[in-house]
Amino acid sequence: MTEKLNEAKWKNALVKVIWAYAHNNALTVQDGAHDNLPKGLGDLVAAIRNRCDRCGRPRILKSIMSPVDVSDISPYQCCWVHTETEDYCPHYCVECHQELQRQRPHDTISV
């Protein structure tokens, strides 16, 4: 039986590798009844999860010239991924969603 994922399979696979590494090297930190990752590995997991599911661009791109967010990742309910291995609401950058719009025009729903 496959488990239902709330993120892209490639993201979930990377996060699982990080957790396995932390467990195998006794790096997890106890917080009550839960294991947590140490700061560096926890930051790495956050960085992976804050990327576009399609192109892998980071959630927020800031430049020296402009402190304004250049690209943001949003969940697009209209592009729901439902396959034998994945079932989730994808998080795309605007550029990737526009590319998918050109390939398959549809009403945009962002949540």
Determine, yes or no, domain membership for 59.
yes
- Cβ(66)–Cβ(43) below 8 Å: no
pLDDT at 1: 36
Determine, yes or no, domain membership for 89.
yes
Determine, yes or no, domain membership for 33.
yes
* Average pLDDT over every residue of 12-16: 94
The total of structural domains in the chain comes to: 1
- Residue numbers of the domain that contains 49: 9-103
**pLDDT tier at 69, thresholds 50, 70, 90:** low
Determine, yes or no, domain membership for 1.
no
Burial of 24 (0-12, 13-18, 19+ CB in 10 A): exposed
Determine, yes or no, domain membership for 39.
yes
* Average pLDDT over every residue of 36-48: 92
Find the range with the poorest average confidence among 8-17, 18-27, 67-76. 67-76
Phi/psi for 28 (5° steps) reads -70, 150
pLDDT at 57: 87
* Average pLDDT over every residue of 63-72: 60
Based on DSSP, count helices (H) and strands (E) in the chain, helices before strands: 3, 6
Determine, yes or no, domain membership for 111.
no
pLDDT at 73: 85
Determine, yes or no, domain membership for 110.
no
